[in-house]
A and B are shown apart, each in its own frame.
Chain A
Amino acid sequence: MTALPEALSDLLRLMRRAWRRPAFRVALSLALALTALGLLGPYVAPYPLQGLGVEVVPEKSLLSPSLEHLLGTDAMGRDILSRVLFGLWRAVIVTLLVISVSAALGLFVGSAAAVLPKPVETVFVYIMELFISVPSILLAAALVATAGGGLVPLIVALVLTWWPWYGRVAYTQARAIRELDFVNLPRVFGLSRLYVVRRHIVPHVVPPVLVEALSDLGSVVIEMSTITFIFGAAQSISEPDLGVMIGLGLRYVTTHPWVALFPAIFLALLAISFTVFGEVLYEEANPVLRKRWFKWF
């Protein structure tokens, strides 16, 4: 698919433009650092078994930060630093997974809706609108209630609520160009419908979806953590999850604040850096009024 390399080079150009803004530089650097930390986390955590939640050390519970446990221990005696690193890893993986799967799904359904016959189009559009109207938290609750805890229901719930947004972006864009001559002429030349979609529609649809997806990274982090925070008790509390950690640590916030504080700080940094990265990128991709609009005021 020749669309991808071109879209990526457009993206790089966009990021280079965004790099001019200091907020972007800070956000991107922080986001990359945290992502790297998250991905490496499981390998550098000092107490990996505790981080995973497999090991518990009840006699060492609620210790304040020390040289042995840089961020202290939680109610089950697990090293908070390790827990946080694993939680970060989880947050990063889930976010990236959810965004890529949703974007791909949305891209596919949205583009298909624009090129297939009207009845199919109507059905696809209806499905997208249907899913958009479902709030993720309710969906997550339903899934968690039926499927139990764990990563899979969480990811499924998130993907189900996010994909239609990209579907809509893809659909709108595909629809806008499907009437243009350069989409219809190749059929006259004798080229197949598949060729038209691959060569003419996809390259126009991928960039806006890509930008939307990247600017949503922060929101997914927050949404995911909100769900786990609220339903943390329903999930198995041994699993390392930033939202769950905050939820469980709240009980001790007056006496042993670090239990909730450190996960919260990492979560906030991750969310903020992703969000700012996304916002600036989106702004650079969609310049509102290039010509010195501020002069109107």
Chain B
Amino acid sequence: MVLAIRSYRLSVGYEVDEGLVWVVDRLSLEVGVGESYCLVGESGCGKSTIGNTIAGLLPPYAVTDGILELMGVKAVEGRLRRFNGLRGRVVVRIPQDPAASLNPFLTVEEQLEEVLKAHLGQLTEAEARRRVQHLLSLVKLPPEVAEVYPHQLSGGMKQRVAIALALAPSPKVVVADEPTSALDAYLKFSIARLLKALQLALGLTLIFITHDLTLARYVCDRVAVVYAGRVVEEARTVDILEGAVHPYTKLLLRAVPRRLNSGRLADIPGAPPPPGRYLPGCRFRPRCPIASEECTKDPEVVEVGEGHKVYCWRWRSG
């Protein structure tokens, strides 16, 4: 069985003025074809870097280690990154800000055609137009949108065009990096719903990166909670939401205001450590309510249920 994504001890860092800063630490995960997988975490935890690595969009000053395979092909091996033929074809990314992927000087149709031609070679006018319309209908946009320029579209429509652009090369893996953060409440939902529907209809493998746990519930089969560059808990969505075991996950779930539930929100004191300034051992230890001596050692994985992994020494005492 070929996995859509497989990583083994994948680490990613950046070379900055102060030296080499590692932001993702020995990530090992497996995502099956057609699965919808969420990376949940707060800002600075490294989830975007993971998404960029999978999509082959790391900047030249990034450094990698470990292994990453996409559809069975080795894309990252130690320091080497080989994404030719993968990037933009097999794996695509939908960025947080739709304006980032839309060229303001081209109409929607022109941009979609550009991508289509890059992947399908020369197309006749009629064929190109047909495919563009097909993409627009996939993302539930009316045909007239083809002739407008991005600035004439609302935020939600821009995001849909960005999705259409990403789907143009018929990719297998889609990395959606906080695709709804820039949108208001209702749009958040309709875009998430759209992605979910597309994922099911086209059999895509979806990596959905978000800080919003409620969206994760709606979109994803499995969730990985990321903290300070490491996965701290990984399970099916329902198991995370109802049976979370890691202290951070539990606090995070209780920090989200839920209507009709006026219990006090969980207060996680302090702030996540800045990248590169990690203490040895469990990185959540300084803020963990149940930390103890043993937590000065890097936690090892514990399988606490079917497909439910946690990286914590003290998960039982939660």
A-B interaction: yes
User: A296 contacts B17, CB within 8 Å?
Assistant: no
Q: How many residues of A contact B (CB 8 A)?
A: 5
CB distance from A284 to the nearest CB of B (A): 14
The A-contacting residues of B in range 1-30, CB under 8 angstroms, are 15-17
Contacts of A292 in B (CB 8 A): 15, 60-61
Interface flag for A21 (CB, 8 Å): no
In whole angstroms, how far apart are the Cα atoms of A290 and B60 in the complex? 13
- Binary CB contact string for chain B from 47 to 62 against chain A (1 if under 8 A, 0 otherwise): 0000000000001110
The B-contacting residues of A in range 282-297, CB under 8 angstroms, are 290-292, 295-296
- Binary CB contact string for chain A from 30 to 74 against chain B (1 if under 8 A, 0 otherwise): 000000000000000000000000000000000000000000000
Contacts of B15 in A (CB 8 A): 292
A-B contact pairs, 10 of them (CB 8 A): A290-B17, A291-B16, A291-B59, A291-B61, A292-B15, A292-B60, A292-B61, A295-B60, A295-B61, A296-B60
In whole angstroms, how far apart are the Cα atoms of A291 and B14 in the complex? 10
- Chain A residue at minimal CB-CB distance from B61: A292
The A-contacting residues of B in range 211-267, CB under 8 angstroms, are none
The B-contacting residues of A in range 249-297, CB under 8 angstroms, are 290-292, 295-296
CB distance from B60 to the nearest CB of A (A): 4
Contacts of A290 in B (CB 8 A): 17
Contacts of B61 in A (CB 8 A): 291-292, 295
The A-contacting residues of B in range 36-76, CB under 8 angstroms, are 59-61
- Chain B residue at minimal CB-CB distance from A295: B60
- Chain A residue at minimal CB-CB distance from B16: A291
- Binary CB contact string for chain B from 129 to 141 against chain A (1 if under 8 A, 0 otherwise): 0000000000000
In whole angstroms, how far apart are the Cα atoms of A290 and B61 in the complex? 11
CB distance from B52 to the nearest CB of A (A): 14
Number of A-B residue pairs at CB separation under 8 A:
10
CB distance from B267 to the nearest CB of A (A): 28
Contacts of A295 in B (CB 8 A): 60-61
Q: Interface range on chain B: under 10, 10 to 19, 20 to 34, or 35 or more?
A: under 10
In whole angstroms, how far apart are the Cα atoms of A291 and B60 in the complex? 10
- Chain A residue at minimal CB-CB distance from B59: A291
Question: Apart from A291-B61, A292-B15, A292-B60, what 7 extra A-B contacts exist at CB < 8 Å?
Answer: A290-B17, A291-B16, A291-B59, A292-B61, A295-B60, A295-B61, A296-B60
CB distance from A78 to the nearest CB of B (A): 55
In whole angstroms, how far apart are the Cα atoms of A296 and B62 in the complex? 12
CB distance from A222 to the nearest CB of B (A): 35
Which of B16, B17, B60 has the largest count of A CB atoms less than 10 A from its CB? B60
In whole angstroms, how far apart are the Cα atoms of A296 and B16 in the complex? 15
In whole angstroms, how far apart are the Cα atoms of A291 and B61 in the complex? 8
CB distance from B59 to the nearest CB of A (A): 7
Which of A290, A291, A296 has the largest count of B CB atoms less than 10 A from its CB? A291
- Chain A residue at minimal CB-CB distance from B15: A292
In whole angstroms, how far apart are the Cα atoms of A50 and B59 in the complex? 65
CB distance from A11 to the nearest CB of B (A): 22
Contacts of B16 in A (CB 8 A): 291
In whole angstroms, how far apart are the Cα atoms of A16 and B74 in the complex? 47
Contacts of A296 in B (CB 8 A): 60
CB distance from B12 to the nearest CB of A (A): 15
- Chain A residue at minimal CB-CB distance from B17: A290
In whole angstroms, how far apart are the Cα atoms of A290 and B18 in the complex? 12
In whole angstroms, how far apart are the Cα atoms of A296 and B58 in the complex? 12
CB distance from B63 to the nearest CB of A (A): 11
Contacts of B60 in A (CB 8 A): 292, 295-296
Closest 9 CB pairs of A and B: A295-B60, A292-B61, A295-B61, A291-B61, A296-B60, A292-B15, A291-B16, A291-B59, A292-B60
In whole angstroms, how far apart are the Cα atoms of A199 and B16 in the complex? 35
In whole angstroms, how far apart are the Cα atoms of A152 and B252 in the complex? 72
Contacts of B59 in A (CB 8 A): 291
Contacts of A291 in B (CB 8 A): 16, 59, 61
- Binary CB contact string for chain B from 253 to 294 against chain A (1 if under 8 A, 0 otherwise): 000000000000000000000000000000000000000000
CB distance from A156 to the nearest CB of B (A): 45
- Chain B residue at minimal CB-CB distance from A296: B60
In whole angstroms, how far apart are the Cα atoms of A290 and B59 in the complex? 13
In whole angstroms, how far apart are the Cα atoms of A296 and B17 in the complex? 16
In whole angstroms, how far apart are the Cα atoms of A292 and B60 in the complex? 8
CB distance from A16 to the nearest CB of B (A): 16
In whole angstroms, how far apart are the Cα atoms of A295 and B15 in the complex? 11
In whole angstroms, how far apart are the Cα atoms of A290 and B17 in the complex? 9
- Chain A residue at minimal CB-CB distance from B60: A295
CB distance from A17 to the nearest CB of B (A): 12
In whole angstroms, how far apart are the Cα atoms of A274 and B59 in the complex? 37
CB distance from B21 to the nearest CB of A (A): 12
In whole angstroms, how far apart are the Cα atoms of A291 and B59 in the complex? 9
CB distance from A216 to the nearest CB of B (A): 29
CB distance from B27 to the nearest CB of A (A): 23
CB distance from A50 to the nearest CB of B (A): 55
- Chain B residue at minimal CB-CB distance from A297: B60
In whole angstroms, how far apart are the Cα atoms of A296 and B59 in the complex? 8
CB distance from B23 to the nearest CB of A (A): 14
CB distance from A296 to the nearest CB of B (A): 6
CB distance from A288 to the nearest CB of B (A): 14
Contacts of B17 in A (CB 8 A): 290
CB distance from B50 to the nearest CB of A (A): 19
